[in-house]
Each structure stands twice: as C-alpha cells, then as structure tokens.
Structure 1
Amino acid sequence: MELLADKFFCLSGGNFMRPLLLLAAAALLTPVIGQPALAADMAVKAPIVAAPIAYSWTGFYVGGNVGYAWGRTTDDVNFLPTAAFFGAAPFTASANMNGVLGGVQAGYNVQFDRAVLGFEADIDAADIKGSPFVSPLSPFVGAPVPTWFHSSNQRMDWFGTFRGRLGYTPVDRLLLYVTGGLAYGEVKTNSFTSFTALPPFQYAASTSTWRAGWTVGAGGEWAFAGNWSARLEYLHYDFGTSTDATAQPLAPNAPFAVTNHWTTRGDLVRVGVNYKFGGAPLVARY
C-alpha cells in the first residue's frame, strides 16, 4: 500500500496526498479481512431450545378395572340360650375366600408441582366366595361326635370403595400414590348345623346384607398416550365382624338356636385403564 502511495506521490509532485491514500486503502480492505471472523461467530451460536413440557394429572377421569381378591372368611358359631344349656361347644369355621372382580371407577385429581391430590369412587361386580366346613363337632362336655357337622358359605357379589388419593410424580407421566377410605359390599351367607339325634336337630340360616368397612392401599399409574393411562393397584379391605344370622331349628326346638358371627376381610389386586377428560393442561417444567 505504501508503494502505491509513493508512486502517486511522484506523479502528483508532492506528499500531501499520501495520508488520504492510506485511509482509503484501509477502508477498502477492512470488510474482506473481518468477514471470516464474523462467519466464525455465527457458527458457534447455539439454537434456542424450548422448555420441556410435562404431563398434568389435573382433571376428571373415568375408567374400568379387573382384578383378583384373596382372604379368609370366618364364621364364629355359638348357641342360644347358652352353650352349656344347648349342650354343644362353640367353635370357629374358616376357609379361604377368593375370586375375581371387575367394574368401573371415576375420580378427580389436582396436581401441585409434583404432588397430586384426588378422590376416587368405584363399584365392581364380584365372585368372591369361601365355604367353611367343620366336622366333627364337640358337645359342651365330652368327646367330639363324628356325625355332628357345620357347613357354611360366604359370598361377595358386589364390592366398591370411596377413597382419597395422595400421589407423587417422580418422572414425567408416572404417578405413584397411596390411598384409603370407605369400602362396602353386598355379602351373602348361608349356614347349616346338624346334630344327630332322634329326631335330628338341624339349624339353617341365610342372609344378604350390604356391609361397610375400611380399605387402604397403594398403586402406580402411567399416562401412556394422550389422555389415556394404565394402572396397577393393591387394596386391603376389612368389613369387620357382624352377627349376620341366627339359625332357627328346622323342626320346633324352642328355645334353642345357633348364632353365626361372620368376619370378612381380604386383599385384592386390580389393573385398569383411565381416560382423563379435558385438554390435559400442560405445564413447563424447568
């Protein structure tokens, strides 16, 4: 660049143009020299990434379930007016009480950050039953009598709950929860107690009642597609003990009778699918 200025100086006959020529040349070369640096700056800038979107459990839902229940049915048998007067010793008959159930559920959840609060009601048709049998029976005093026996049956045709739920979402779309509340069901019982004599003394009774108790459990639910979710749930239920029936003699035998005190409790596991109504509010989680 200085060489060009010298030549022009010689042609112009003086040095007063030299500073002007240097400035002009620098202005022409600056964009060319700076262009690679500008391109390098543009290459290293990262694109803007949107914040991740998390699933929200808030909303009303309905669904269906199917499961299996297991437990024990217990029939505590006593005699009226007293065991001593009746002449037989009280006893307990028990057996496994198992079966399947299936039905529908509905509920509502509210999510606060990772915590989820809600309630749920469900009703299931059930085929849960057990049949205790005891033989021989014993007199109030003396050795068991081989021909004395007791046969009974307890069956649950309907099972339902109304429960609160408290949950936590450790990862997106997964809800783990504990639950507890009211349990209820329709329970049917039958009993038959026979004492051999001349004539034989036999006592029979049957009932159909709605029973209520409590239930607690835990479960997990996974939102697998849109507003659809699948879940696995465990519950323990307990209807307590009730005096369901007083078995009267089939043939007149006043004042004697047989009482049955039934205990109903068990456990169950259910799988289910839910659909949540509404547009599933989405929340940005940073």
Structure 2
Amino acid sequence: MKKFALATVAAVVIAAPAQAQDGFNGFYAGVSVGYDFQANDDGEEISFDRGSNGTFGETVTTAAGANAFSPGFCSGAATSPQNTNCRDDSDGVSFQARLGYDRQMNNFVLGVVGELGTADLRDSVSAFSTTPAFYTMTREIDFTAALRLRAGVVAAKNTLLYATGGVAYAKMEQSHVSSNTANSFTVIADEDAWGFQVGAGIEQKIGSKFSLGLEYLYTGYNDDKTLVRVGQGTAGATNPFVLAGGVDFLRVNDEFNVQSIKAVATYRF
C-alpha cells in the first residue's frame, strides 16, 4: 500500500501539466506524509560501568568471577529471559507540516524550510544475564523538528530539482524493562536528541500556487547520554550488581539514524 501511494504521487508529479507562471518564489506552507525506516544496527550491545563512576566497557561478574552477561546481546526487544532472538525494531509512517521561503534567480532556487512532525519509530537493544534475565533499553520519538536550507535548479519551467540539508531535533521517550524483579532500575534520560539532515527532492508545480513533490531525507541523531542505574532493591549480597557496587549501563551505539521517503504537497502565498 505504501509503495502504491508513493508510485501514484510520482506519476502525478511526472505527468502534471506545465501551467505555472510565477516560478518558485515567496513563502509557502505544506504537509507531507512518508515512511521512516532505520539503518541496520545488527550487533548493537549494552556497555556496563561498575560502581557508577563513569567508566564504561567493564564486565559485570558473578560471585564465582564469571561474566554475568555471557549469553550476550541482541539488536531489538527481548521476548523471553532465555532467548536472545529479539523482536525487530519498528519502522513506520510519519507526518509533517512545513513552512518555507524560496527565491528564484533565473533557473537557480535558494530557500529555507522548517518542519514539525511526528514519527512512529521504536529502537531497542537487549542484554541477557545468566540468571537468566533480560534487560531492554528502548527509545521512541515523540515529535521531530528540522530547519534546512535547500538549493536547486529549475529543470523545466515548472519542475524543481533540489538538494537540502540542515539541523534536526527529536524529542525522545526513553524506557527500560527487565525480567529481573530483585534489583531496582532508574532511567536517567536525555530526551533531547540533536543531529543533522541531508536529502534531495523534486517539486512539480500544479497551476500557479500548488505543488506536489517527492523527497528523500537521511537524518542522523546523536543520543549518547541516557543510562540505566541499577540499585540493590531486594537482591542479596551475592547479586552481580551488588558485588559491583552498583552498575550503570547504556547503549554502545549512540547514533539513531533514520531514512525517510515523503510525498509533499505545498501551497505558495
């Protein structure tokens, strides 16, 4: 269904009649609907800090000195304490509203555009202990914002081909779940993720005011400050987290990369 919708918009853009006379000038407002998918993050792991002193990359051990997390990790949400085959991360549909301004100089167009929208993405990583137990960190996007420049050329009288790039922001929801009911867990979250966007697109004018287009964007967010702090809870003195004097853990990979394909409709004032 998503492929059919995008193909339909593409057909409209290509077949649209050349009617517009005003060029790509002035302020415009628009909306877009697209599909977001995450870059492959196979091999993602969780890093541990014994004693919560800021030194990550350490090993949490059992009372016998063995690695308490020897079962390993997976790039997704755990489905059971014993099984390291996790549920895949979730991609989804996004919606945005945009406001921009363009200036056309002969066949060259230079402009700026701001966007505010939603995304339906879930990205998880899980660790598995010998207890057995699972520990899953998940981040989801509440809303996004971006401010980009765009520059392009008018390939035909009413067709604009452009490149775009700028700064991106995402409001994150950070969470943790575990099958370990003995220790206590506190999420120390950084919900603000900043990054960049780059992409390209095509815009076809339909009459003098309306345009339809297709756009591809690559967004790279940096999310490096959220961690989970493990306390003793009701666990005994031989609990691996207690033996370590408390433990913090976080994602090894702090990048959250998203690719998006959008159908865009705009109206010029």
Aligned: 1:244 with 2:241: no
Which residue of the partner structure matches residue 186 of structure 1?
A: 171
Q: SS state of the match for residue 160, structure 2?
A: strand
Quickly say closer, same or farther: Cα 1:205–1:227, change in 2 above 3 A: same
1:4-153 to structure 2, matched below 5 A, reads 54-72=21-39, 76-81=46-51, 83-84=58-59, 87=62, 88=68, 93-95=74-76, 96-135=89-128, 137=129, 145=130, 147-153=132-138
Quickly say closer, same or farther: Cα 1:80–1:267, change in 2 above 3 A: same
Output one character per residue of 1:201-232: Cα deviation in whole Å (capped at 9) or x when no partner. Answer: 45352636121111100011000122000111
Deviation at 1:191?
A: 1.9
Q: Is the 8 A contact 1:183 1:239 kept in 2?
A: yes
Aligned: 1:168 with 2:153: yes
Q: Normalising by the residue count of structure 1, what TM-score does the alignment of the two structures yield?
A: 0.66
Structure 2 Cα separation of the partners of residues 86 and 205 of structure 1? 22
Aligned: 1:272 with 2:264: yes
Structure 2 Cα separation of the partners of residues 146 and 218 of structure 1? 49
AA matched with 1:270: K
Which residue of the partner structure matches residue 205 of structure 1?
A: 187
Quickly say closer, same or farther: Cα 1:200–1:240, change in 2 above 3 A: same
Structure 2 Cα separation of the partners of residues 101 and 208 of structure 1? 23
AA matched with 1:274: T
Quickly say closer, same or farther: Cα 1:105–1:228, change in 2 above 3 A: same
Structure 2 Cα separation of the partners of residues 162 and 229 of structure 1? 20
Structure 2 Cα separation of the partners of residues 53 and 234 of structure 1? 24
Structure 2 Cα separation of the partners of residues 244 and 226 of structure 1? 48
AA matched with 1:263: E
Q: SS state of the match for residue 255, structure 1?
A: coil
Which is worse superposed, 184-193 or 70-79?
Answer: 70-79
Q: Is the 8 A contact 1:216 1:237 kept in 2?
A: yes
Aligned residue pairs total 215
Q: Is the 8 A contact 2:216 2:261 kept in 1?
A: yes
Structure 2 Cα separation of the partners of residues 242 and 64 of structure 1? 31
Structure 2 Cα separation of the partners of residues 265 and 98 of structure 1? 12
Quickly say closer, same or farther: Cα 1:115–1:233, change in 2 above 3 A: same
Aligned: 1:228 with 2:210: yes
Deviation at 1:239?
A: 1.0
Quickly say closer, same or farther: Cα 1:86–1:250, change in 2 above 3 A: same
Greater helix fraction, Structure 1 or Structure 2:
1
Deviation at 1:244?
A: 0.7
Deviation at 1:170?
A: 0.9
Q: Is the 8 A contact 1:103 1:123 kept in 2?
A: yes
Q: SS state of the match for residue 121, structure 2?
A: strand
Aligned: 1:259 with 2:243: no
- Structure 2: which 5+ runs fail to align? 1-18, 63-67, 77-88, 235-241
Quickly say closer, same or farther: Cα 1:243–1:172, change in 2 above 3 A: same
Q: SS state of the match for residue 157, structure 2?
A: coil
- Structure 1: which 5+ runs fail to align? 1-51, 138-144, 278-286
AA matched with 2:108: A
Which is worse superposed, 174-183 or 86-95?
Answer: 86-95
Structure 2 Cα separation of the partners of residues 53 and 184 of structure 1? 34
Q: Is the 8 A contact 1:246 1:260 kept in 2?
A: yes
Q: Normalising by the residue count of structure 2, what TM-score does the alignment of the two structures yield?
A: 0.70
AA matched with 2:140: R
Deviation at 1:102?
A: 0.7
